[in-house]
Amino acid sequence: MIGTTPLLSLPRREFLKTGGALVIGWSLRGTMAETGAAQDVGAPRGGVAGPPDPKQIDTWLAIHSDNTATVYIGYVELGQGSTTSLLQIAAEELDLDMSQVRTVGLDTNITPNQGGTYSSSSIARGSPAIRTAAAEARQALLKMASEKLGAPVERLTVSKGVVTVGAMGAESESVTYGGLIGDQLFHLAFTGTAPVKPVSDYKIVGTSPLRNDIPEKVSGRYVYLQHVRLPGMVHGRIVRPRGQTAYGSGAKVASLEEHSIAHIPGARVLRRPTSSVSLQSASGTLSAPRAI
Amino acid sequence: MASQIQIRVNERLHSVPSDPDTPLLYVLMNDLALQGPRFGCGLAQCGSCSVLVNGAETRSCVTPISAVVGKSVVTLEGLPSWYAKQKKLSKVPALHPVQQALIDEQAVQCGYCFNGMIIQAADLLSKTSRPTEGQIRSAMNGHLCRCGSYPRVIRAIQRASHAMASAAEDGANATVAQQTPVAEVER
């Protein structure tokens, strides 16, 4: 298997497109392909590398022309379902349907830095920011709608991203979120001061929608860290001393016949700590570790 | 030294440069860029790497590529096709009934081990169309899930079994449309 080019050779740019996957095991393919979102995935959203500014509403969500929203989440989907439940929280505050919200893969250039994903605490630690950002975006959208419809904010109601004057009815005027800001930036500071919905008004939070990560996981389309392939990528192997007690008893590499793998193209000793040997080769073949 | 080895994977013949003792899993992952079979333990103990070899669940991490020459390897990616052929369906469904049932039961958490879970369940149902819970437990015994999804996996296999039985009753006209009844079983 020596000297073969990996079949899936992704240049870095392409790699980043699928590459929330690298960091988090979450594929962007489905979401981006099906929505055709204008977002240039992989490019830093703020124009500079690194997480976008958490003090900006645009860091947390985007409203698209088709009256859907992308919510940017700073946690890894490790099976806990937080990419679904955090979307529920955002949809609730925005008065959008679950079918109108989606998220993208975690990417340090694109998604906010919400800290590590650990101890089943994504909802506890992550939802306050997402909830209040969504509430603040809704407040801004209602202000825009108020100007557009010539009616005070107090008279506006929202259902599934459609803002209506007064009660929903045939004669009432309405405008969609998408029509108000579709794919434009809010350019609005995130202050965290917008009032959030009272729990008694919840329609989505507290329900159990189908998790958005499962279809890709059962079909083999989900990209785990182990699936990432880069051009010229090599495979490393660690050759360890034999036996469970070898480390405990201080086994050291006594000698190393590097010429024993010389016949395997591309294989070389990468590193030689005192207690193990790291090898690399162009493929995952066992020849090199066996030969040494 | 590496030589060209021909293997049949998901109904396609591939020629890969490989040592005969290279584990099948490495070839599937690294050369064929498949995402179904995946490395878990590397010791045939966890089942993340499972594939079907001539219809039987096989641990690809400990199967040398030379052992599957002349045989038919089916991975998670090829499972709907394999199922359609087995059941003589006129169209290949988007998902094998087991895959659909796992969605319906919301059985998956991190999902890493589910490649093997699905392959093993498909193998089981191809041979035992109405397995008892005991038979399911016994068949799935060698598939480890750290998330602890087992109870839902068992329910999903039972659901898939029902779905396949009702699909069979509908006869040879079975098509992709039968994914819908699958979702409705026992709901």
- Within an 8 Å CB–CB cutoff, is residue B2 touching chain A? yes
Residues B20 and B108 reside in one and the same domain:
no
A29 interface with B at CB cutoff 8 Å: no
Q: Give the side-chain half-sphere CA count within 13 A for A226.
A: 18
Chain B residues with CB inside 8 Å of A263's CB?
1
Could you tell me if B62 and B134 lie in one domain?
no
Q: Chain A contact for B101, CB < 8 A?
A: no
Please check whether residues B55 and B107 belong to one and the same domain: no
Average pLDDT estimate for A197-222: 96
Residue with tokens 């030589």: B3
Which amino acid, one-letter code, is at A184?
Q
Tell me, yes or no, whether B56 and B8 share the same domain: yes
Report yes or no: B34 at the A interface, CB cutoff 8 Å. Answer: yes
Domain range for B104 is 79-184
pLDDT digit string, tens, across residues A64-102: 999 999 999 999 888 999 999 999 999 999 999 999 999
* Domain end call among B31, B56, B77: B77
Size of interface A-B (CB pairs under 8 A): 105
pLDDT at B25 over 90: yes
B89 and B177, same structural domain?
A: yes
Q: B63 and B36 share a domain?
A: yes
Query: Is there a single domain that holds both residue B12 and residue B97?
Result: no
Q: CA A9, A15, A18, A22 torsion: positive or negative?
A: positive
E strands, chain B, where? 3-9, 12-18, 50-53, 56-59, 72-74
Among A residues 66-105, those touching chain B with beta carbons less than 8 Å apart: 78-81
Look at residues B77, B105, B134 and tell me which one is the last residue of a structural domain: B77
Cα angle vertex A107, ends A102, A108, to 5°? 135
pLDDT at A188 over 80: yes
**Per-residue pLDDT reduced to its tens digit, A118-141:** 988 999 999 999 999 999 999 999
CATH no. for residue B177?
1.10.150.120
Strand partners, A189: A56
Helix, strand, coil percentages for chain A (3-state, nearest 5): 35, 15, 55
Residue A200 confidence class, pLDDT cut points 50, 70, 90: very high
Chain A residues within 8 A of B64 when measuring between CB atoms: none
**b or e along A215-239 (b: 16 or more beta carbons within 10 Å of the residue's beta carbon)?**
bbbbbbebbbeebbbeeebbbebeb
Ranking A286-290, B6-10, B17-21 by mean pLDDT, the lowest is: A286-290
Query: Which CATH number does the domain housing residue B45 bear?
Result: 3.10.20.30
* Same-domain status, B177 and B127: yes
How close, in Å, is residue B119 to chain A by CA atoms? 11
Which residue's structure tokens are 């830093």? Answer: A44
Residues B52, B140, single domain; the answer is no
pLDDT value of residue A283: 58
pTM of the model: 0.80
Same domain, B161 and B175: yes
> What would the pLDDT profile of B28-42 be if each residue is shown by its tens digit?
998 899 999 999 999
N-term to C-term CA, chain B? 56
Provide the domain count of chain B. Answer: 2
Q: What is the ipTM metric for this complex?
A: 0.89
Give pLDDT tens digits for B111-153.
999 999 999 999 999 999 999 999 999 999 999 999 999 999 9
Same domain, B73 and B94: no
Q: How far is residue A45's CA from residue B108's CA, in Å, rounded to a whole number? A: 32
For residues B66 and B85, membership in a common domain is answered with no
pLDDT at A157 over 50: yes
Give the C-alpha separation, B26 to B110, whole Å: 22
CA–CA dist A59, A73 (Å, integer):
9
